[in-house]
Amino acid sequence: MKQLHFRHLVNFVLPEKRMKEIASSYDVVDGPNDEGEMFTRPGILVDAFPSPYPNEESARYANGGANPPDLSVYTTAKHEGLDYIFALLLGYRDPPAGIEVRDGLYYNVYFPGGLIGMPSPLHSDGLVDYEDGTPCTKSQMAKDVVNFLCWAAEPAHDERKLVGLKAMSALFCGTFVVGFWYRSMWIGFKTRRIDFTKAVM
Ligand code: HEM
């Protein structure tokens, strides 16, 4: 997830201190230093999520030639992205009779063409423990993954909408205030009649 940085998770997912610990547990390549060399340092909050693969070629090599996509903005970038990813995560089936699946491919009813290079990431129930005792089913995990990806695509979404709502409310109220002020200021002029006939003494 190239677009997401550790700092995005601060106070949304974990407190700052814990996120700093997690970030520093990753080695990040930085540089060049004064000697022109790249160097490795512990991650900090402003670093992007480290990629599991150093480059596209190694990602393809590790996944039988298929390139795992960057999921940072996938839910918004892809048409029906949320529903698609949810369905894809739960769409692994045994291939129907007559369909040959070569090594490194998996049959998924929701993937265009049916054969996908991604093994089922949520292959069985109970992969995580929910602290509140929620049953850890595949669909529950898929829902959480998709919700996370949706948030990750636009971390500032809620805040942006809230600011928009406040601005619209202020404009709405402002319209009435200005309208009232306008009428009260001009009422004397707008209802005045100026007559230019000669005054009769
Ligand atoms: C819950 C975690 C994951 C999610 C939500 C996820 C989601 C996705 C999505 C949405 C696609 C794109 C499908 C398309 O092109 O229409 C994809 C492709 C892919 N993913 Fe994952 N993925 C996850 C975990 C993994 C893991 C752990 C691996 C590696 C072992 C992996 C390897 C791949 C590969 C190789 C592709 C390309 C498939 C192809 O083009 O045939 N994914 N993934």
Neighbours of 116 (CB within 10 A): 19
**In this prediction, what percent of the chain has a pLDDT beyond 90?**
79
Asked if 85 contacts 74 with a C-beta cutoff of 8 angstroms, the reply is yes
pLDDT in tens, 61-107: 999 899 999 999 999 888 889 999 999 999 999 999 999 999 999 99
Which residue carries 């209802």 as its tokens?
191
Q: Could you tell me which of 167, 163, 122 has the C-alpha nearest to residue 141?
A: 122
pLDDT in tens, 168-178: 999 999 999 99
Closest protein CA for atom 18 of ligand 1: 68
pLDDT in tens, 136-148: 999 999 999 999 9
H or E stretch covering 17: helix 16-24
Q: Which residues line ligand 1 (CB under 6 A)?
A: 63, 66, 68-69, 71, 74, 85, 88-89, 116-119, 121, 145
Give me ligand 1 centre to Cα 67, in Å. Answer: 8
Can you give the pLDDT at residue 142? 97
Closest protein CA for atom 39 of ligand 1: 117
Asked if 46 contacts 7 with a C-beta cutoff of 8 angstroms, the reply is yes
Give me ligand 1 centre to Cα 35, in Å. Answer: 39
- Rounded Cα gap, residues 128 and 141, in angstroms: 8
H or E stretch covering 41: strand 39-42
H or E stretch covering 34: none
- Rounded Cα gap, residues 2 and 20, in angstroms: 18
β-strand pairing of 39-42 with 27-30: antiparallel
Read off the tokens for 144. Answer: 């959480």
> Is 201 flagged in the annotation as binding?
no
In degrees and rounded to multiples of 5, residue 90 shows phi and psi of -105, 10
Can you give the pLDDT at residue 200? 67
